[in-house]
Structure 1
Amino acid sequence: MGNNKNLFGDFETVKTTPIVKWIGGKRRLAKHILPKFPEHLCYVEVFAGGAALYFLRDQQAEVEVINDINGELVNLYRVVKNHIEEFLRQFKYALSSRQIFEWLKMTPSETLTDIQRAARFFYLQQHAFGGKVGNQTFGTAATRPAINLMRIEEHLSEAHLRLAGTYIEHLDWAKCISKYDRPHTLFYCDPPYWDTEGYGVDFGLEQYHAIADTLKTIQGKAILSLNDHPRMLEIFKDFRLETVQINYTVGGSGKKSVKRNELIIYNW
Protein backbone atom coordinates (compact mmCIF):
# COMPACT_ATOMS: atom_id res chain seq x y z
CA MET A 1 0.00 0.00 0.00
CA GLY A 2 1.68 3.18 -1.17
CA ASN A 3 5.41 3.86 -0.89
CA ASN A 4 6.01 1.94 2.36
CA LYS A 5 9.50 0.54 1.82
CA ASN A 6 12.05 0.06 4.54
CA LEU A 7 15.32 1.94 3.94
CA PHE A 8 17.07 -1.42 4.23
CA GLY A 9 14.64 -3.51 2.20
CA ASP A 10 11.03 -4.70 2.17
CA PHE A 11 8.82 -4.75 5.23
CA GLU A 12 7.15 -7.79 6.65
CA THR A 13 3.39 -7.97 5.97
CA VAL A 14 1.64 -7.68 9.35
CA LYS A 15 -1.73 -6.02 8.72
CA THR A 16 -4.38 -6.50 11.40
CA THR A 17 -7.19 -4.29 12.77
CA PRO A 18 -7.48 -1.92 15.76
CA ILE A 19 -8.31 -3.67 19.02
CA VAL A 20 -10.32 -0.95 20.73
CA LYS A 21 -13.08 1.46 19.72
CA TRP A 22 -11.90 5.06 19.92
CA ILE A 23 -13.52 8.43 19.34
CA GLY A 24 -12.12 9.98 16.17
CA GLY A 25 -10.68 6.65 14.99
CA LYS A 26 -9.02 6.76 11.57
CA ARG A 27 -10.27 3.55 9.94
CA ARG A 28 -12.14 5.47 7.24
CA LEU A 29 -9.28 7.88 6.66
CA ALA A 30 -6.58 5.19 6.48
CA LYS A 31 -6.97 4.53 2.75
CA HIS A 32 -6.30 8.21 2.06
CA ILE A 33 -3.32 8.63 4.39
CA LEU A 34 -1.41 5.34 4.12
CA PRO A 35 -0.54 5.74 0.42
CA LYS A 36 1.00 9.14 1.27
CA PHE A 37 3.57 7.68 3.67
CA PRO A 38 7.10 8.58 2.52
CA GLU A 39 10.12 6.32 2.95
CA HIS A 40 11.02 5.88 6.60
CA LEU A 41 12.84 3.61 9.02
CA CYS A 42 11.08 4.63 12.25
CA TYR A 43 7.29 5.10 12.50
CA VAL A 44 5.75 6.91 15.47
CA GLU A 45 2.05 7.43 16.26
CA VAL A 46 2.24 10.37 18.64
CA PHE A 47 -1.44 10.38 19.67
CA ALA A 48 -2.09 6.67 19.22
CA GLY A 49 -5.66 6.32 20.50
CA GLY A 50 -7.05 3.30 18.67
CA ALA A 51 -3.85 3.24 16.54
CA ALA A 52 -5.83 2.56 13.35
CA LEU A 53 -3.03 3.38 10.91
CA TYR A 54 -0.51 1.35 12.90
CA PHE A 55 -2.74 -1.74 12.80
CA LEU A 56 -4.12 -1.27 9.27
CA ARG A 57 -0.90 -0.62 7.36
CA ASP A 58 0.17 -3.51 5.16
CA GLN A 59 3.84 -3.41 6.04
CA GLN A 60 5.86 -2.85 9.18
CA ALA A 61 8.63 -0.31 9.74
CA GLU A 62 12.00 -1.32 11.16
CA VAL A 63 11.20 0.59 14.36
CA GLU A 64 7.65 1.36 15.49
CA VAL A 65 6.30 3.40 18.39
CA ILE A 66 2.77 3.98 19.66
CA ASN A 67 2.37 6.70 22.28
CA ASP A 68 -0.54 8.11 24.21
CA ILE A 69 -1.10 10.30 27.27
CA ASN A 70 -3.99 8.07 28.40
CA GLY A 71 -2.46 5.71 30.96
CA GLU A 72 -5.35 3.22 30.80
CA LEU A 73 -4.93 2.87 27.03
CA VAL A 74 -1.17 2.47 27.32
CA ASN A 75 -1.66 -0.18 30.02
CA LEU A 76 -4.04 -2.07 27.70
CA TYR A 77 -1.51 -2.17 24.87
CA ARG A 78 1.25 -3.29 27.24
CA VAL A 79 -0.92 -6.06 28.71
CA VAL A 80 -1.98 -7.33 25.27
CA LYS A 81 1.68 -7.33 24.27
CA ASN A 82 3.06 -9.04 27.38
CA HIS A 83 0.21 -10.90 29.14
CA ILE A 84 -2.24 -11.93 26.41
CA GLU A 85 -3.27 -15.31 27.89
CA GLU A 86 -4.14 -13.92 31.31
CA PHE A 87 -5.92 -10.96 29.71
CA LEU A 88 -8.10 -13.28 27.61
CA ARG A 89 -8.99 -15.30 30.69
CA GLN A 90 -10.69 -12.20 32.09
CA PHE A 91 -13.35 -12.61 29.37
CA LYS A 92 -13.90 -16.38 29.55
CA TYR A 93 -17.47 -15.95 30.81
CA ALA A 94 -18.01 -12.27 30.02
CA LEU A 95 -21.32 -10.94 28.67
CA SER A 96 -22.36 -7.64 27.17
CA SER A 97 -24.45 -6.01 29.87
CA ARG A 98 -25.54 -2.47 30.65
CA GLN A 99 -25.39 -3.28 34.38
CA ILE A 100 -21.83 -4.64 34.18
CA PHE A 101 -20.88 -1.56 32.17
CA GLU A 102 -22.16 0.71 34.95
CA TRP A 103 -20.48 -1.38 37.67
CA LEU A 104 -17.13 -1.18 35.89
CA LYS A 105 -17.48 2.58 35.43
CA MET A 106 -17.78 2.88 39.22
CA THR A 107 -14.80 0.60 39.91
CA PRO A 108 -11.67 2.63 40.80
CA SER A 109 -8.84 1.51 38.53
CA GLU A 110 -6.31 1.91 41.37
CA THR A 111 -7.93 -1.06 43.16
CA LEU A 112 -7.12 -3.40 40.26
CA THR A 113 -4.05 -5.17 38.94
CA ASP A 114 -2.67 -4.04 35.57
CA ILE A 115 -4.38 -6.98 33.85
CA GLN A 116 -7.71 -6.26 35.57
CA ARG A 117 -7.34 -2.58 34.69
CA ALA A 118 -6.76 -3.46 31.05
CA ALA A 119 -9.81 -5.76 31.01
CA ARG A 120 -12.00 -3.08 32.61
CA PHE A 121 -10.83 -0.42 30.16
CA PHE A 122 -11.26 -2.74 27.16
CA TYR A 123 -14.80 -3.69 28.23
CA LEU A 124 -15.84 -0.05 28.70
CA GLN A 125 -14.37 1.08 25.38
CA GLN A 126 -15.93 -1.80 23.46
CA HIS A 127 -19.36 -0.93 24.79
CA ALA A 128 -19.17 2.87 25.02
CA PHE A 129 -21.33 4.80 22.56
CA GLY A 130 -19.14 6.36 19.87
CA GLY A 131 -15.93 5.04 21.43
CA LYS A 132 -15.89 7.96 23.86
CA VAL A 133 -13.37 8.02 26.69
CA GLY A 134 -15.12 10.67 28.77
CA ASN A 135 -18.81 10.80 29.75
CA GLN A 136 -19.35 7.23 28.57
CA THR A 137 -22.79 5.76 27.96
CA PHE A 138 -23.67 2.19 27.04
CA GLY A 139 -24.02 1.88 23.25
CA THR A 140 -26.63 -0.24 21.51
CA ALA A 141 -27.82 -0.58 17.91
CA ALA A 142 -30.80 -2.16 16.18
CA THR A 143 -28.70 -3.13 13.15
CA ARG A 144 -26.03 -5.36 14.73
CA PRO A 145 -25.79 -7.90 17.58
CA ALA A 146 -24.21 -7.22 20.95
CA ILE A 147 -20.46 -7.72 21.25
CA ASN A 148 -19.54 -11.34 21.87
CA LEU A 149 -16.62 -11.04 24.27
CA MET A 150 -15.99 -14.79 24.24
CA ARG A 151 -14.85 -14.58 20.60
CA ILE A 152 -12.08 -12.03 20.94
CA GLU A 153 -9.15 -14.44 21.22
CA GLU A 154 -8.28 -14.62 17.52
CA HIS A 155 -8.41 -10.87 17.04
CA LEU A 156 -6.37 -10.03 20.13
CA SER A 157 -3.87 -12.80 19.43
CA GLU A 158 -3.11 -11.11 16.10
CA ALA A 159 -2.66 -7.79 17.90
CA HIS A 160 -0.35 -9.49 20.41
CA LEU A 161 1.93 -10.60 17.58
CA ARG A 162 1.72 -7.18 15.92
CA LEU A 163 2.75 -5.39 19.12
CA ALA A 164 5.64 -7.75 19.87
CA GLY A 165 8.37 -5.53 18.43
CA THR A 166 6.75 -2.17 19.16
CA TYR A 167 7.76 0.45 21.72
CA ILE A 168 4.71 1.49 23.77
CA GLU A 169 5.20 4.93 25.32
CA HIS A 170 3.24 7.03 27.82
CA LEU A 171 4.62 10.50 27.07
CA ASP A 172 3.45 14.02 26.45
CA TRP A 173 3.28 14.53 22.67
CA ALA A 174 6.19 16.99 22.61
CA LYS A 175 8.45 14.66 24.60
CA CYS A 176 7.56 11.78 22.31
CA ILE A 177 8.49 13.73 19.19
CA SER A 178 11.73 14.95 20.76
CA LYS A 179 12.71 11.43 21.86
CA TYR A 180 12.31 9.81 18.43
CA ASP A 181 13.07 12.69 16.05
CA ARG A 182 15.54 11.56 13.40
CA PRO A 183 15.81 12.27 9.66
CA HIS A 184 14.47 8.75 8.96
CA THR A 185 11.42 9.08 11.28
CA LEU A 186 7.82 9.45 10.15
CA PHE A 187 5.44 10.88 12.75
CA TYR A 188 1.70 10.46 12.42
CA CYS A 189 -0.10 12.96 14.65
CA ASP A 190 -3.81 12.62 15.34
CA PRO A 191 -4.50 15.01 18.24
CA PRO A 192 -7.98 15.62 19.67
CA TYR A 193 -10.09 17.49 17.16
CA TRP A 194 -10.65 21.13 17.94
CA ASP A 195 -13.99 22.08 19.50
CA THR A 196 -15.13 18.47 20.00
CA GLU A 197 -15.81 16.44 23.16
CA GLY A 198 -15.39 12.87 24.36
CA TYR A 199 -11.59 12.50 24.39
CA GLY A 200 -11.32 12.72 28.17
CA VAL A 201 -8.46 15.27 28.07
CA ASP A 202 -8.18 19.04 27.79
CA PHE A 203 -6.44 20.17 24.62
CA GLY A 204 -6.40 23.93 24.28
CA LEU A 205 -5.75 26.08 21.23
CA GLU A 206 -2.20 26.77 22.41
CA GLN A 207 -1.40 23.08 21.91
CA TYR A 208 -2.13 23.27 18.18
CA HIS A 209 0.10 26.34 17.88
CA ALA A 210 2.83 24.38 19.68
CA ILE A 211 2.40 21.42 17.31
CA ALA A 212 2.70 23.73 14.30
CA ASP A 213 5.89 25.28 15.69
CA THR A 214 7.34 21.84 16.44
CA LEU A 215 6.60 20.38 13.00
CA LYS A 216 8.46 23.29 11.38
CA THR A 217 11.69 22.45 13.17
CA ILE A 218 11.90 18.63 13.43
CA GLN A 219 14.32 16.52 11.40
CA GLY A 220 11.75 13.87 10.49
CA LYS A 221 8.64 14.00 8.37
CA ALA A 222 5.16 14.34 9.87
CA ILE A 223 1.56 13.85 8.77
CA LEU A 224 -1.13 15.47 10.88
CA SER A 225 -4.89 14.87 10.67
CA LEU A 226 -7.48 17.31 12.07
CA ASN A 227 -11.02 18.46 11.55
CA ASP A 228 -11.41 21.00 8.75
CA HIS A 229 -12.01 24.00 11.02
CA PRO A 230 -11.21 27.67 10.20
CA ARG A 231 -8.96 27.95 13.25
CA MET A 232 -6.97 24.90 12.23
CA LEU A 233 -6.62 26.22 8.69
CA GLU A 234 -5.23 29.46 10.10
CA ILE A 235 -2.79 27.81 12.50
CA PHE A 236 -1.41 25.42 9.86
CA LYS A 237 -1.56 27.78 6.88
CA ASP A 238 2.23 27.53 6.32
CA PHE A 239 2.02 23.78 5.65
CA ARG A 240 0.90 21.71 2.68
CA LEU A 241 -2.78 21.02 3.27
CA GLU A 242 -5.20 18.50 1.80
CA THR A 243 -8.93 18.16 2.42
CA VAL A 244 -10.63 14.75 2.27
CA GLN A 245 -14.38 14.20 2.51
CA ILE A 246 -15.41 11.20 4.61
CA ASN A 247 -18.87 9.69 5.18
CA TYR A 248 -19.57 8.99 8.84
CA THR A 249 -22.48 6.97 10.18
CA VAL A 250 -24.57 8.84 12.74
CA GLY A 251 -25.12 7.04 16.03
CA GLY A 252 -24.11 3.64 14.64
CA SER A 253 -27.44 3.29 12.84
CA GLY A 254 -25.88 1.92 9.67
CA LYS A 255 -28.30 3.99 7.58
CA LYS A 256 -28.04 7.71 8.21
CA SER A 257 -24.65 9.22 7.39
CA VAL A 258 -23.09 12.66 7.23
CA LYS A 259 -20.22 13.97 5.14
CA ARG A 260 -17.37 15.60 7.01
CA ASN A 261 -14.19 17.21 5.75
CA GLU A 262 -10.93 15.99 7.25
CA LEU A 263 -7.78 18.08 7.06
CA ILE A 264 -4.46 16.32 6.31
CA ILE A 265 -1.32 18.35 6.92
CA TYR A 266 2.23 17.59 5.73
CA ASN A 267 5.44 19.20 6.97
CA TRP A 268 7.38 18.58 3.77
Structure 2
Amino acid sequence: MRQVRPAAPVAPWLGGQKRLHPLLIERIEAIPHRSYIEPFVGMGGVFLRRRMRPRLEVMNDRNGEIINLFRILQRHYPQLKEVMRFQICSRREFERLRATDPATLTDLERAARFLYLQRLAFGGKIDGVFGVSAGTSPRFSLARLEPLLDAAHERLDGVVFESLDWAELIPRYDTPDALFYLDPPYFGGEADYGRGLFDRSQYARMAEILGALKGAFVLSINDAPEIRALFAGFLIEPVRLTYTVSAGQGTEAQELVISNREALARLL
Protein backbone atom coordinates (compact mmCIF):
# COMPACT_ATOMS: atom_id res chain seq x y z
CA MET A 1 0.00 0.00 0.00
CA ARG A 2 1.10 3.53 -0.81
CA GLN A 3 -0.47 6.71 0.53
CA VAL A 4 -1.79 9.03 -2.20
CA ARG A 5 -3.53 12.37 -2.39
CA PRO A 6 -7.29 11.78 -2.74
CA ALA A 7 -9.25 13.55 -5.47
CA ALA A 8 -12.87 14.62 -5.84
CA PRO A 9 -15.15 13.45 -8.68
CA VAL A 10 -14.87 15.80 -11.66
CA ALA A 11 -18.65 15.86 -12.19
CA PRO A 12 -21.81 14.85 -10.32
CA TRP A 13 -23.26 11.40 -10.87
CA LEU A 14 -26.54 9.76 -9.94
CA GLY A 15 -25.73 7.59 -6.90
CA GLY A 16 -22.30 9.20 -6.43
CA GLN A 17 -22.10 8.32 -2.69
CA LYS A 18 -21.55 11.93 -1.60
CA ARG A 19 -22.98 11.17 1.87
CA LEU A 20 -21.81 7.57 2.34
CA HIS A 21 -18.24 7.67 1.00
CA PRO A 22 -16.45 8.36 4.35
CA LEU A 23 -17.90 5.20 5.91
CA LEU A 24 -17.29 3.14 2.77
CA ILE A 25 -13.66 4.24 2.52
CA GLU A 26 -13.15 3.44 6.20
CA ARG A 27 -14.43 -0.10 5.59
CA ILE A 28 -12.38 -0.50 2.40
CA GLU A 29 -9.12 0.75 3.88
CA ALA A 30 -9.47 -1.50 6.95
CA ILE A 31 -9.47 -4.65 4.77
CA PRO A 32 -6.00 -5.83 3.68
CA HIS A 33 -5.80 -6.11 -0.11
CA ARG A 34 -3.27 -5.92 -2.95
CA SER A 35 -5.73 -5.16 -5.76
CA TYR A 36 -8.81 -2.93 -5.75
CA ILE A 37 -11.57 -3.23 -8.35
CA GLU A 38 -14.79 -1.28 -8.88
CA PRO A 39 -17.23 -2.97 -11.32
CA PHE A 40 -19.64 0.05 -11.26
CA VAL A 41 -17.25 2.99 -10.93
CA GLY A 42 -19.54 5.80 -12.18
CA MET A 43 -17.71 9.09 -11.74
CA GLY A 44 -15.42 7.58 -9.10
CA GLY A 45 -17.07 9.01 -5.99
CA VAL A 46 -15.40 6.35 -3.82
CA PHE A 47 -12.50 5.33 -6.08
CA LEU A 48 -10.92 8.79 -6.32
CA ARG A 49 -11.39 9.69 -2.65
CA ARG A 50 -9.44 6.73 -1.22
CA ARG A 51 -6.19 7.63 0.53
CA MET A 52 -4.32 4.34 0.10
CA ARG A 53 -3.27 2.78 -3.20
CA PRO A 54 -2.62 -0.95 -3.62
CA ARG A 55 -0.48 -2.60 -6.29
CA LEU A 56 -3.36 -2.84 -8.82
CA GLU A 57 -6.41 -0.59 -9.28
CA VAL A 58 -9.17 -1.27 -11.83
CA MET A 59 -11.97 1.07 -12.89
CA ASN A 60 -14.85 -0.56 -14.77
CA ASP A 61 -18.16 0.69 -16.13
CA ARG A 62 -20.41 -0.46 -18.96
CA ASN A 63 -20.97 3.20 -19.84
CA GLY A 64 -18.27 3.79 -22.44
CA GLU A 65 -18.50 7.58 -22.06
CA ILE A 66 -17.30 7.30 -18.45
CA ILE A 67 -14.31 5.10 -19.26
CA ASN A 68 -13.40 7.26 -22.26
CA LEU A 69 -13.40 10.38 -20.06
CA PHE A 70 -11.11 8.80 -17.46
CA ARG A 71 -8.79 7.39 -20.12
CA ILE A 72 -8.48 10.79 -21.83
CA LEU A 73 -8.02 12.50 -18.46
CA GLN A 74 -5.18 10.09 -17.70
CA ARG A 75 -3.40 10.10 -21.07
CA HIS A 76 -4.34 13.34 -22.86
CA TYR A 77 -5.05 15.80 -20.07
CA PRO A 78 -3.41 18.93 -21.62
CA GLN A 79 -5.34 18.39 -24.87
CA LEU A 80 -8.60 17.95 -22.95
CA LYS A 81 -8.09 21.26 -21.17
CA GLU A 82 -7.33 22.96 -24.48
CA VAL A 83 -10.54 21.64 -26.06
CA MET A 84 -12.57 22.94 -23.11
CA ARG A 85 -10.74 26.24 -22.65
CA PHE A 86 -13.12 28.38 -24.75
CA GLN A 87 -16.34 26.49 -23.94
CA ILE A 88 -19.15 28.72 -22.71
CA CYS A 89 -21.96 27.98 -20.26
CA SER A 90 -25.02 28.12 -22.50
CA ARG A 91 -28.40 26.39 -22.63
CA ARG A 92 -28.20 26.33 -26.45
CA GLU A 93 -24.74 24.72 -26.33
CA PHE A 94 -25.98 22.22 -23.74
CA GLU A 95 -28.88 21.21 -26.00
CA ARG A 96 -26.62 21.05 -29.07
CA LEU A 97 -24.10 18.77 -27.40
CA ARG A 98 -26.80 16.59 -25.87
CA ALA A 99 -28.28 16.07 -29.36
CA THR A 100 -24.86 15.22 -30.84
CA ASP A 101 -24.16 11.53 -31.44
CA PRO A 102 -20.89 10.82 -29.56
CA ALA A 103 -20.02 8.20 -32.19
CA THR A 104 -19.42 11.06 -34.65
CA LEU A 105 -16.75 12.64 -32.40
CA THR A 106 -13.13 11.89 -31.67
CA ASP A 107 -12.36 10.36 -28.26
CA LEU A 108 -11.08 13.74 -27.09
CA GLU A 109 -14.23 15.55 -28.24
CA ARG A 110 -16.38 12.82 -26.66
CA ALA A 111 -14.66 13.27 -23.31
CA ALA A 112 -15.09 17.07 -23.41
CA ARG A 113 -18.76 16.71 -24.42
CA PHE A 114 -19.51 14.21 -21.65
CA LEU A 115 -17.81 16.28 -18.95
CA TYR A 116 -19.59 19.46 -20.07
CA LEU A 117 -22.99 17.78 -20.01
CA GLN A 118 -22.38 16.06 -16.67
CA ARG A 119 -21.33 19.32 -15.06
CA LEU A 120 -24.40 21.21 -16.31
CA ALA A 121 -27.19 18.61 -16.25
CA PHE A 122 -29.53 18.84 -13.28
CA GLY A 123 -28.78 16.02 -10.84
CA GLY A 124 -25.97 14.75 -13.07
CA LYS A 125 -28.47 13.20 -15.53
CA ILE A 126 -27.66 14.05 -19.16
CA ASP A 127 -31.18 13.17 -20.28
CA GLY A 128 -32.52 15.72 -17.77
CA VAL A 129 -32.58 19.50 -17.99
CA PHE A 130 -30.07 22.34 -18.11
CA GLY A 131 -29.08 22.64 -14.45
CA VAL A 132 -28.60 26.41 -14.08
CA SER A 133 -31.13 28.42 -12.11
CA ALA A 134 -31.57 31.86 -10.57
CA GLY A 135 -29.32 32.55 -7.60
CA THR A 136 -26.82 29.74 -8.25
CA SER A 137 -23.51 29.73 -10.08
CA PRO A 138 -23.09 27.21 -12.92
CA ARG A 139 -20.96 24.11 -12.26
CA PHE A 140 -19.15 24.56 -15.56
CA SER A 141 -16.23 26.97 -15.16
CA LEU A 142 -12.73 26.03 -16.25
CA ALA A 143 -11.25 28.10 -13.41
CA ARG A 144 -13.20 26.03 -10.86
CA LEU A 145 -12.85 22.78 -12.77
CA GLU A 146 -9.10 22.84 -13.42
CA PRO A 147 -8.02 22.00 -9.82
CA LEU A 148 -10.42 19.02 -9.82
CA LEU A 149 -9.04 17.81 -13.15
CA ASP A 150 -5.44 18.25 -11.95
CA ALA A 151 -6.05 16.12 -8.85
CA ALA A 152 -7.97 13.43 -10.76
CA HIS A 153 -5.28 13.25 -13.46
CA GLU A 154 -2.64 12.65 -10.78
CA ARG A 155 -4.80 10.07 -8.97
CA LEU A 156 -5.50 8.08 -12.17
CA ASP A 157 -1.84 7.35 -12.82
CA GLY A 158 -1.39 3.60 -13.35
CA VAL A 159 -5.11 2.75 -13.16
CA VAL A 160 -6.44 -0.01 -15.45
CA PHE A 161 -9.66 0.84 -17.32
CA GLU A 162 -12.22 -1.79 -18.33
CA SER A 163 -15.70 -1.60 -19.85
CA LEU A 164 -17.01 -5.11 -19.20
CA ASP A 165 -20.17 -6.55 -17.74
CA TRP A 166 -19.69 -6.75 -13.97
CA ALA A 167 -20.23 -10.54 -13.99
CA GLU A 168 -17.41 -10.96 -16.52
CA LEU A 169 -15.07 -8.54 -14.73
CA ILE A 170 -15.19 -10.13 -11.26
CA PRO A 171 -13.83 -13.59 -12.21
CA ARG A 172 -11.03 -11.95 -14.25
CA TYR A 173 -9.65 -10.11 -11.23
CA ASP A 174 -10.70 -12.34 -8.33
CA THR A 175 -7.77 -13.46 -6.17
CA PRO A 176 -7.40 -14.00 -2.40
CA ASP A 177 -5.80 -10.53 -2.19
CA ALA A 178 -8.49 -8.71 -4.22
CA LEU A 179 -11.05 -6.28 -2.82
CA PHE A 180 -14.14 -5.37 -4.85
CA TYR A 181 -16.32 -2.37 -4.08
CA LEU A 182 -19.70 -2.69 -5.79
CA ASP A 183 -22.18 0.16 -6.21
CA PRO A 184 -24.85 -1.36 -8.48
CA PRO A 185 -28.07 0.41 -9.48
CA TYR A 186 -30.46 0.73 -6.57
CA PHE A 187 -33.23 -1.84 -6.21
CA GLY A 188 -36.22 -0.31 -8.03
CA GLY A 189 -33.99 1.95 -10.16
CA GLU A 190 -32.38 -0.65 -12.39
CA ALA A 191 -32.94 1.37 -15.58
CA ASP A 192 -31.68 4.70 -14.18
CA TYR A 193 -28.30 4.37 -15.93
CA GLY A 194 -29.60 3.20 -19.31
CA ARG A 195 -31.90 0.54 -20.65
CA GLY A 196 -30.53 -2.96 -21.01
CA LEU A 197 -27.46 -2.41 -18.83
CA PHE A 198 -28.86 -3.95 -15.64
CA ASP A 199 -32.05 -5.76 -14.65
CA ARG A 200 -33.54 -6.99 -11.38
CA SER A 201 -32.55 -10.63 -11.95
CA GLN A 202 -28.89 -9.65 -11.64
CA TYR A 203 -29.08 -9.08 -7.88
CA ALA A 204 -29.56 -12.82 -7.30
CA ARG A 205 -26.70 -13.59 -9.67
CA MET A 206 -24.55 -11.06 -7.82
CA ALA A 207 -25.22 -12.73 -4.46
CA GLU A 208 -24.28 -16.09 -5.99
CA ILE A 209 -21.02 -14.83 -7.54
CA LEU A 210 -20.01 -12.96 -4.38
CA GLY A 211 -20.74 -16.07 -2.33
CA ALA A 212 -18.00 -17.92 -4.23
CA LEU A 213 -15.54 -15.02 -4.16
CA LYS A 214 -11.90 -15.74 -3.28
CA GLY A 215 -11.29 -12.16 -2.24
CA ALA A 216 -13.19 -9.58 -0.20
CA PHE A 217 -16.04 -7.29 -1.18
CA VAL A 218 -17.94 -4.27 0.10
CA LEU A 219 -21.30 -3.51 -1.51
CA SER A 220 -23.58 -0.50 -0.96
CA ILE A 221 -27.23 -0.42 -1.95
CA ASN A 222 -30.60 0.89 -0.81
CA ASP A 223 -32.43 -0.99 1.92
CA ALA A 224 -35.16 -3.25 0.53
CA PRO A 225 -36.62 -6.53 1.89
CA GLU A 226 -35.70 -8.32 -1.35
CA ILE A 227 -32.04 -7.24 -1.02
CA ARG A 228 -31.89 -8.31 2.63
CA ALA A 229 -33.25 -11.73 1.65
CA LEU A 230 -30.85 -12.24 -1.27
CA PHE A 231 -27.77 -11.20 0.73
CA ALA A 232 -28.81 -12.76 4.05
CA GLY A 233 -25.70 -14.95 4.05
CA PHE A 234 -23.41 -11.93 4.36
CA LEU A 235 -22.81 -9.30 7.02
CA ILE A 236 -25.35 -6.48 6.53
CA GLU A 237 -24.81 -3.06 8.13
CA PRO A 238 -27.74 -0.58 7.98
CA VAL A 239 -26.80 3.11 7.64
CA ARG A 240 -29.23 6.02 7.94
CA LEU A 241 -28.65 9.04 5.68
CA THR A 242 -30.34 12.29 4.71
CA TYR A 243 -30.47 13.13 1.00
CA THR A 244 -31.25 16.54 -0.48
CA VAL A 245 -31.88 17.60 -4.07
CA SER A 246 -30.87 21.20 -4.87
CA ALA A 247 -32.32 23.44 -2.14
CA GLY A 248 -35.13 21.04 -1.30
CA GLN A 249 -35.93 19.56 2.09
CA GLY A 250 -33.86 16.58 3.24
CA THR A 251 -35.24 13.07 2.81
CA GLU A 252 -34.39 10.31 5.28
CA ALA A 253 -33.22 7.05 3.74
CA GLN A 254 -31.56 3.85 4.88
CA GLU A 255 -28.69 2.25 2.97
CA LEU A 256 -27.09 -1.16 3.41
CA VAL A 257 -23.36 -1.83 3.46
CA ILE A 258 -22.86 -5.54 2.78
CA SER A 259 -19.62 -7.51 3.09
CA ASN A 260 -18.46 -11.12 3.14
CA ARG A 261 -17.88 -12.34 6.67
CA GLU A 262 -14.31 -13.47 6.01
CA ALA A 263 -13.29 -9.91 5.16
CA LEU A 264 -15.21 -8.31 8.03
CA ALA A 265 -13.67 -10.67 10.57
CA ARG A 266 -10.38 -8.81 10.03
CA LEU A 267 -12.02 -5.59 11.25
CA LEU A 268 -13.15 -7.00 14.60
Deviation at 1:140, TM superposition (A): 2.7
1:143: how far off?
5.3
Letter in 2 for 1:24: G
Match of 2:72 among 69, 72, 79: 79
How big is the shift at 1:147?
Answer: 2.1
Which aligned pairs between 1:208-247 and structure 2 lie closer than 5 A? 208-247=203-242
Number of corresponding residues: 256
Within 5 Å, give how 1:96-111 maps onto structure 2: 96-111=89-104
1:157 equivalent to 2:150? Answer yes
1:223, 1:264 within 8 Å by CA — same for their partners in 2?
yes
**What TM-score comes out, normalization by structure 1 length?**
0.91
Please state whether the residue corresponding to 2:3 is helix, strand or coil.
coil
- Answer yes or no: is the 8 Å Cα contact 2:3–2:52 preserved in 1: yes
Residue 14 of structure 1, CA deviation: 2.0
Q: 2:186 matched to which residue of 1?
A: 193
Distance 1:154 1:46 in 2: 27
1:98 offset after TM fit, Å? Answer: 1.4
The answer to whether the 8 Å contact 1:76/1:122 transfers is yes
1:146 aligns with 2:141: no
The structural deviation recorded for 1:198 is 3.0
What SS does structure 1 have at the residue aligned with 2:57? Answer: strand
Contact 1:104 1:120 in 2 (8 A): yes
Matched position secondary structure for 2:37: strand
SS in structure 2 of the partner of residue 205 of structure 1: coil
With normalisation by structure 2, the TM-score equals: 0.91
Which deviates the most, 69-78 or 137-146?
137-146
Any stretches of 5+ residues in structure 2 without a counterpart?
262-268
Report deviation, 1:26: 1.1
Please tell me the root mean square deviation across aligned C-alpha atoms, in Å. Answer: 1.4
Paired letter, 1:184: D
Which deviates more from structure 2 when the two are superposed, residues 91-100 or residues 139-148? 139-148
**Identity among equivalent pairs (%):** 38
Look up the SS of the partner of 2:69 in the other structure. Answer: helix
The one-letter amino acid paired with 1:121 is F
Segments of 4+ moved more than 6 angstroms? none
The change in CA–CA distance for 1:227 and 1:141 in structure 2 (over 3 A counts) is: farther
Aligned counterpart in structure 1 of residue 3 of structure 2, from 12, 17, 33 = 12
C-alpha distance 241-143 of structure 1, shift in aligned 2 (>3 A) = farther
Gaps of 5+ in 1: 1-5
1:124-173 CA deviation, whole Å, 9 max, x = no partner?
1111111125x322113445311242212222121111111100111110
Q: Which residue of 2 aligns with 1:3?
A: none
The corresponding residue for 1:36 is 27
